[in-house]
Amino acid sequence: MAKESGKEKSLHELRQEVAHSRDRLARDLAGLRYELDFPLKFRKSFQRSTAVWVAAAVVLGVLVAMAPARKKKAKVKAKSRSKSENEKEGILGAGLALGALKLAATLLKPVVVKFVSQKMSGYAAGTGADRRRS
């Protein structure tokens, strides 16, 4: 079982043995690289039998298209409102408030103008009298 020691072999024989083992190792690594090169294998397989690959793709597409849709239905609660609905309500409320303010301003404008004019005339009359006295 045990091999003879390398002392009995000549230096030339030892170098040849090392070179042969390197060659075997290189061939084994090249074979392993070829076996693990899956993209190359797929490309060659597609080139050799294109019709089979195309037919398989069509069948798979039909199966996916014909597959039943989701059976579980999503339930939506009526009370929960989305952000967009809340924003719509806020905009609607702001519009309603602005409309009410415009109507109130239109109706109250004569009253406010009369009040302000009375106060201003009272101030103007009082200031003019103060100036004449001094």
- pLDDT tens by residue, 55-85: 999 999 998 888 877 677 777 776 655 667 7
Query: Do the Cβ atoms of 53 and 45 come closer than 8 Å?
Result: yes
Lowest mean pLDDT among 10-14, 28-32, 127-131: 127-131
Please name the amino acid found at residue 105: A
Cα Dmax for the chain: 143
Gap between the Cα atoms of 46 and 55, Å rounded: 12
For residue 102, pLDDT beyond 60: yes
| pLDDT score at 1 | 45
**Tokens describing residue 129:** 């009298």
Residues 6 or more apart whose CB falls under 8 angstroms from that of 40 comprise 34
How many CB atoms lie under 10 A from the CB of residue 113? 10
Residue 105 clears pLDDT 60, i.e. is over it = yes
Tell me which of 5 and 53 has the higher pLDDT: 53
